[in-house]
Amino acid sequence: MANTEVDDTQVYVLFAQLEELLAESDIEASDKIEELLNLLQQTPFKSQLIKLGEVVDDYDFDDATALFYTLKNTYKEPQTAV
């Protein structure tokens, strides 16, 4: 089993940026999705991000926002070290 570490902090920063872009119906959301795809390439979230990218490319920001929240809510919560 490969140990692929994902930088959760970076993922959550991109989630926050993507959320703002989707709220503004900004096509630059597509760039953030690409960045997330690069980070989450070897994870189960890859297919959800690809679908999200397709919806954004179709300028369907309502559906994209719904898909984004589904993805964000299924992504694990960050673990904080004590």
Is the residue at 20 inside a domain?
A: yes
| Residue 80 included in any domain | no
How many Å separate Cα 41 from the centre of its chain? 11
Tell whether the model's pLDDT for residue 20 goes beyond 70. yes
Judge whether 3 lies within some domain: no
In a domain, 28, yes or no: yes
Q: Is residue 1 included in any domain, yes or no?
A: no
The answer as to whether 39 is a domain residue is yes
The total domain count for the chain is: 1
Name the nearest CA neighbour of 15 among 62, 59, 66, 75. Answer: 75
Mean pLDDT across 47-75: 96
Which residue segment(s) compose the domain that 41 sits in?
8-74
Domain-located, residue 69: yes
Q: What is the pLDDT of residues 29-43, one digit of tens each?
A: 999 999 999 999 999
Say which amino acid occupies 24. Answer: E
Q: Is residue 81 part of a domain?
A: no
User: Which pLDDT belongs to residue 6?
Assistant: 84
CB burial class (10 A; 0-12, 13-18, 19+) of residue 32? buried
Give residue 77's pLDDT: 55
